[in-house]
Amino acid sequence: MKRIVYVTQQYPVVTETFTIKEVAGLRERGFDIDVRALRPVRRTRDLDPIGPATTVRPRAVRPLAFARAAIVAPPVHPRRALAAVRGAALAADLDAGRDHVHVQFPLDASNAGLYAAASSGASFSFSGHTYHELDLMQTKLRRARFVTVGSDFERELLCRRYGDRWRDRIHVRRLGVPERAARRAFVPGTIVSVGTLTGKKGHAVLIRAVAELGPHVRLEILGEGPERAELERLVAQLSLDSRVSLPGSLPHEEALDRVSRAEVFALACRETEDGDHDCLPVALMDAMSLAVPCVSSDAFGIPELIDDGRSGLLAPAGDHVAVAERLELLLRDAGRRDEVGAGGQAAVRGRFDLERNLDGLAELFRAELG
């Protein structure tokens, strides 16, 4: 079995727990995983137990190694040139007969992985999860031995954008969460959301929805990101300072504890003006695993997780009034709340069980890599 050189943007990152679980799960299943990251991570208390990654640093590389990398796609702009240098540097540590390069996310790391594979002769694959401002996708799809995505929505999106000829190369391997016990108690009137403070998470939609609800309703948004100031201004404009809090990013277990104490979990995902959007957020799976009833958007890959009315409630993306209506239904109807929470937990245990889905991913790697 080949060694898997697993390339990421950063590792480990508290907001990408699925990557941490994937690496750990593949190692438990007997794979030799060597994690490489483009950027180092500042170690924190919650990340200390997780093994570090080797940083792929731009450095002087042999001209021949760079030339081999550049053949696959000319480095015509600085960002791509940096990826080619990183790829050539990574290639120096690769053996075509021993190594397979697998990259998490089709972003800068996948460009570096593509160049590394081209320079060294190693095989190459990548995972999806995000599809905004992508580079070299036709080249990466052509060179990849296989591609993994987390939902049918993502496979259809790739085929629609880049051609149906890639369909057989794209494998749906769903993410998952561990089986967890249902929460035992909650704080009445509390809504919790988890996600980076960016437009695609729909936090502004959710804040506007809370403004439509009674004064007893409180919202807590866990996460950090570039739109914090904008969201804080919106909270002030709507006079919600006493009802909406943004405590920042928390360690995963602490965030789960906050979610478990919510009466309802909500994530109002939307597409931004420049076309960015979520696919199938793991934060929803985490909440559902605790039997916390969820409200989210009827868009992207989310309906593959939530069957509207049975395992959660879905609203049109960007419609804060519709989100408020669904939140109010769960907040006032205890029977409906409990029914939807139990349905969500059952749905996650069915198609989104972490161990079962890691078994499927490991099976794919074994089939492809021998």
Domain boundaries, the chain: 3-176+353-369, 187-351
One fold for both 3-176+353-369 and 187-351? yes
Beta-carbon neighbour count of residue 350 at 10 Å?
A: 10
- Please report the pLDDT score of residue 59 as a whole number: 66
Q: Which two tokens stand for residue 177?
A: 């969460």
Residue 48 belongs to what H/E stretch? none
Least confident of 65-74, 78-87, 165-174, 321-330: 65-74
Q: Please report which confidence band the pLDDT of residue 116 belongs to, taking 50, 70 and 90 as the band edges.
A: very high
- Please report the pLDDT score of residue 277 as a whole number: 94
Per CATH, the homologous superfamily of domain 187-351 is: Glycogen Phosphorylase B; (3.40.50.2000)
Q: Please report which confidence band the pLDDT of residue 50 belongs to, taking 50, 70 and 90 as the band edges.
A: low
- Please report the pLDDT score of residue 13 as a whole number: 80
Of 11, 34, 29, nearest to 98 by C-alpha is: 34
Computed over every residue of the chain, the mean pLDDT equals: 92
Residue 91 belongs to what H/E stretch? helix 78-91
Q: Is the pLDDT of residue 49 over 90?
A: no
CB 298 within 8 A of CB 308: yes
- Please report the pLDDT score of residue 54 as a whole number: 86
The mean per-residue pLDDT over the stretch 219-243 comes to 98
| pLDDT tens-digit map of 168-194 | 999 999 999 999 999 999 999 999 999
Q: Please report which confidence band the pLDDT of residue 220 belongs to, taking 50, 70 and 90 as the band edges.
A: very high
- The CATH architecture one would assign to domain 3-176+353-369 is 3-Layer(aba) Sandwich (3.40)
- Cα–Cα distance between 96 and 22 in angstroms, integer? 24
Least confident of 2-6, 74-78, 88-92, 110-114: 74-78
Least confident of 63-72, 176-185, 247-256, 298-307: 63-72
Q: Could you give the residue ranges of the DSSP H alpha helices within 92-184?
A: 108-120, 137-143, 152-162
Q: pTM score, two decimals?
A: 0.93
